[in-house]
């Protein structure tokens, strides 16, 4: 599995489409993590189901005042860490430029 992360609107999905078809790309995991009780199991399912998993970075911004929003952001960050562990390749896309953090660019 290839895990792609980066800021919002940085070109993650556009880059992912150069690797595989749209049906092999997971929707952004940020929303999937919110309220999930078993993040490791979710990470396992996503890694098995998709060739490419995308997650928007959540750690570089204003911390939400709302407790539920903070919990959702924390879950998204924890899920991203779990996906990075499971991935063969981790890529960060910034300004449309892919950078390999783990493994090599496809």
Name the CATH topology of 2-102: Rossmann fold (3.40.50)
Torsion, Cα 82 85 89 95, to 10 degrees, reads 50
Q: What is the DSSP letter of 58?
A: -
pLDDT tens for each residue of 77-92: 999 999 999 999 999 9
Provide the H-helix boundaries in 38-66: 39-49
Q: Which sequence spans correspond to the domains of the chain?
A: 2-102
pLDDT tens for each residue of 7-35: 989 999 999 999 999 999 998 898 899 88
Other C-beta atoms within 10 Å of 29: how many? 25
55: tokens are: 């997650």
This prediction's pTM: 0.92
């Amino acid at each position: 599995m290839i895990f792609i992360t980066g800021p919002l609107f940085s070109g993650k999905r556009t880059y992912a489409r150069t690797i595989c078809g749209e049906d092999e790309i997971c929707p952004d995991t940020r929303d999937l993590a919110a309220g999930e009780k078993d993040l490791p199991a979710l990470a396992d399912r996503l890694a098995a189901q998709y060739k490419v998993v995308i997650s928007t970075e959540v750690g570089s911004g204003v911390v939400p005042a709302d407790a539920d929003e903070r919990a959702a952001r924390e879950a998204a960050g924890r899920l991203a860490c779990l996906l990075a562990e499971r991935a063969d390749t981790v890529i960060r896309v910034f300004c449309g430029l892919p950078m390999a953090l783990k493994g090599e660019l496809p």
